[in-house]
Amino acid sequence: MLQCIFLLSDSGEVMLEKQLTGHRVDRSICAYFWDQSISQGDSFKLLPVIASPTHYLFQIVRDGITFLACSQVEMPPLMAIEFLCRVADVLSDYLGGLNEDLVKDNFIIVYELLDEMIDNGFPLTTEPSILREMIAPPNLVSKMLSVVTGNASNVSDTLPSGTGSCVPWRPTDPKYSSNEVYVDLVEEMDAIVNRDGELVKCEIYGEVQMSSQLTGFPDLTLSFANPSVLEDVRFHAVKKLKNTPLYVKPQITSDSGTCRISVLVGIRTDPGKTIESITLSFQLPHCVSSADLSSNHGTVTILSNKTCSWTIGRIPKDKTPCLSGTLALGTGLERLHVFPTFKLGFKIMGIALSGLRIEKLDLQTLPPRLYKGFRAQTRAGEFDVRL
């Protein structure tokens, strides 16, 4: 089982250590980890399971914070990883995001949460709703209170009722004055367009998210208008599509040490709603020494690690957004022989691209003043366009 959890900032500083068992893990293991990740580059940093000379390390990275857990014995690695992911989720939920300052500023809460979430290396209470009852999340009121009165305990005195329940995500006897239930259909489009411009893979993964404020434990039935579009209903919906709403046409020509690049982004098939927050990002190849890129719409930024991102926003009516410019290649290089992959991001509110529609939501017993809300949304998942 897990012996210790470290939280490391992106500069490698150990922000927090929580020993879980009697077998203490010295924090020098973090130094080992950091040395390795520097010497071996990114690939090591992303390796989730590492066998160090003394411990097995599990790591995940969230928003620049590395969650590092140590174990010396056999244990399911996925359990450790899933747990770390859960910790990261809970922390970012509590702190309203994750970064070095937030963790340091709220280190007591982080400690208290970790202590509740894991006992002797085995997860104890990981259900966010129960944790919220045990340890109050920091909010403006409690902060003010602590400033004014000087003390505000965020540790609850009573055991949440959900701890013994089979449905720990709900309190044992929920009561709400207004009965509301909201259904969100969130779809993600994964697509790969290969270098010939062919659509190799285009799939939609959907999730039905619900937010329920219903008194008691009513039985709910969600019906879809056209369930036939779902390929494998057991999973969060998976559907293969023939087409993408947007097209990306990249072109690159290289000649005697300079390349001309032009990328066009446009609407292929109008989904019926506005496509928002369109972004396109790509990594410039190592051999590119400098780049001069400009666009007729939106903004282009090139980061120091040669990541170029183009924020388009919405497609204007009068023109097709176009990114163009030249890339200067490193010395001695005539032509570009490696080509970047463009990552497309977009969001469409109010429509599920798969065509899936929610027909109705039935409640077995209708509570008074029931409000039901539905919403759909599609966004780009792994949308790769290769040049």
- Kind of pairing, strands 179-193 and 370-386? parallel
Residue type, 236: H
- 169 contacts another protein (rule: CB under 8 A): no
Whole-number minimum distance, CB 230 to another protein, in Å? 13
Spatial separation of the C-alpha atoms in residues 46 and 36, rounded to whole Å: 11
Task: Between 200 and 267, name the residue whose CB sits nearer to another protein.
Answer: 200
3-class state of residue 252 by DSSP: strand
At a CB cut-off of 8 Å and minimum separation 6, what does 358 contact?
A: 183, 185, 222, 223, 224, 225, 374, 376
Contact of 378 with 206, CB cutoff 8 Å: no
- Give the nearer residue to another protein in terms of CB position, either 68 or 358: 68
| 256 part of the interface to another protein, by CB under 8 A | no
- Residue 35 binds another protein, judged by CB under 8 A: no
Distance in Å, CB of 185 to another protein, minimum: 17
Residue 234 contacts another protein per CB under 8 A: yes
**Token digits for 244?**
């993408």
Task: Please report the sign of the dihedral spanned by the C-alpha atoms of residue 139, residue 140, residue 142, residue 146.
Answer: positive
* Number of residues engaging another protein in binding (CB under 8 A): 103
Rounded CA gap, 349 and 191, in Å? 19
Binders of another protein in range 262-301 (CB under 8 A): 283, 285-287
Structure tokens that stand for 145 in this block? 């209170």
Position among 12, 93, 99, 115 found at the interface with another protein (CB under 8 A): 115
Q: Which two tokens stand for residue 369?
A: 């003043």
Nearest distance from C-beta of residue 333 to another protein, angstroms: 6
Out of 9, 36, 92, 111, the only residue in the binding site for another protein (CB under 8 A) is 111
Q: Where are the beta strands (DSSP E) in 166-213?
A: 179-193, 199-213
Interaction of residue 168 with another protein, rule CB under 8 A: yes
384 binds another protein (CB under 8 A): yes
Rounded to a whole number of angstroms, the minimum distance from the CB of residue 368 to another protein is 32
Q: How long a stretch of residues is the chain? A: 387
- Residues in contact with another protein, shown as a per-residue x/- string from 196 to 215 under the rule CB under 8 A: x---xx---x----------
Q: Which residue has the tokens 């290289």?
A: 254
SS3 189: strand
Does 73 help bind another protein (rule: CB under 8 A)? yes
- Under 8 Å CB-to-CB from 171, ≥6 apart: which residues? 129, 133, 160, 161, 162
Q: Kindly state the smallest distance separating residue 57's Cβ from another protein, in Å.
A: 10
Q: Which stretch binds another protein (CB under 8 A): 189-197, 212-220, 272-280, 354-362?
A: 189-197
Told to check if 22 binds another protein by CB under 8 A, we report yes
CB of 217 to another protein, least distance (A): 15
- 286: three-class secondary structure by DSSP: coil
Our finding on whether 153 is near another protein (CB under 8 A) is yes
Are 7 and 100 in contact by the 8 Å Cβ rule? The answer is: no
3-state secondary structure (DSSP) of residue 133: helix
Our finding on whether 11 is near another protein (CB under 8 A) is no
> Binding segment for another protein among 153-161, 179-187, 319-327, 357-365 (CB under 8 A)?
153-161
Give residue 198's region: left, alpha or beta (phi > 0; psi -120 to 50).
Answer: beta
Stretch that binds another protein, among 98-106, 177-185, 269-277, 312-320 (CB under 8 A): 98-106
Using CB under 8 A as the binding rule, whether residue 93 contacts another protein is answered as no
Report the residue number, 113 or 179, with the smaller CB distance to another protein.
Answer: 113
Residues between 124 and 143 with contacts to another protein, criterion CB under 8 A: 124, 126, 134, 138, 140, 142-143
Is 77 a residue that touches another protein (CB under 8 A)?
Answer: yes
**Coil/strand/helix, residue 3:** coil
Only segment of 296-304, 338-346, 348-356, 366-374 that touches another protein (CB under 8 A): 338-346
